[in-house]
Amino acid sequence: MKNLVALLCLISASIGSVFSHKCYSCWSRNSTICKEIEIDCLGADCMTASQTVKLYGKEHYAMFKGCSNETLCGAEGSGVVDQVEFKFLAHCCIGDLCNKQGYDPPKNNLTKNGVKCPFSICPGSLEECKSDKEINCTGSMDRCMDYRATVRDEDGIDANYSGKGCTNRDSCKYNFDSKIMFKEMHRVLLNC
């Protein structure tokens, strides 16, 4: 029995050391760099996520480093709704301090893919945003999106938005509250 307890303690200690990593951690808004600190990630790998949002012609950047969220590992999202474009990329890695890489957003792919979507944005409305405009989707954006929600901007102001445009599979899987420049407060619809 004594040997069994000693063996279980040894296995437990080994498992704990295998599933514990040191990762760089930081968060930047409107910057492609951030000041890193070291943190312990128990049972998780490390991650670096890069985001870009282009609002009415002005680009905004953000980067996150820390313990990985396995559902985000490898995600590469992109979308365009009238004058709002976004893209994000999440890299995960295994090992101490493996997430040293810098800001690395998905590359633009402007090759038309044959998908056409309604294209509109209606600030101040949660109703369907109708328009006669249409957009040729590009790259991995192979599906149409209809989005309606109340969002909070970086100044803490809530506003309603509805819009239609192109997006890809990864963007449809994740909440829009992780995007730069706004936080989703109440979603009415996300249909891809």
Mapping DSSP to helix (H, G, I), strand (E, B) and coil, where does residue 184 land? Answer: strand
Mapping DSSP to helix (H, G, I), strand (E, B) and coil, where does residue 103 land? Answer: coil
- What pLDDT digit, counting tens, does each position of 7-50 carry? 333 333 334 445 578 999 998 888 888 899 999 998 779 999 99
Number of domains in the chain: 1
Contact 119, 133 (CB under 8 A): yes
- What pLDDT digit, counting tens, does each position of 112-152 carry? 999 999 999 999 999 999 989 999 999 999 999 999 999 88
pLDDT of the residue at 2 = 41
Q: What are the tokens at 171?
A: 């963007």
For residue 145, what are the contacts with CB-CB under 8 A and spacing of at least 6? 79, 81, 117, 163, 164, 165, 166, 167, 171, 172, 190, 191, 192
Flag whether pLDDT at 110 surpasses 60: yes
Specify if 26 maps to a domain: yes
Supply the range of the domain harboring residue 171: 21-191
d(CA 74, CA 76): 6
Specify if 12 maps to a domain: no
pLDDT of the residue at 141 = 95
Specify if 122 maps to a domain: yes
pLDDT of the residue at 180 = 63
Specify if 55 maps to a domain: yes
Q: What are the tokens at 13?
A: 């200690």
Query: How many Cα atoms within 13 Å fall on the side-chain side of residue 109?
Result: 17
Specify if 134 maps to a domain: yes
- The pTM of the full predicted model, rounded to 2 decimals, is 0.78
pLDDT band at 107 (very low <50, low <70, confident <90, very high): confident
The amino acid present at 55, given as its one-letter code, is L
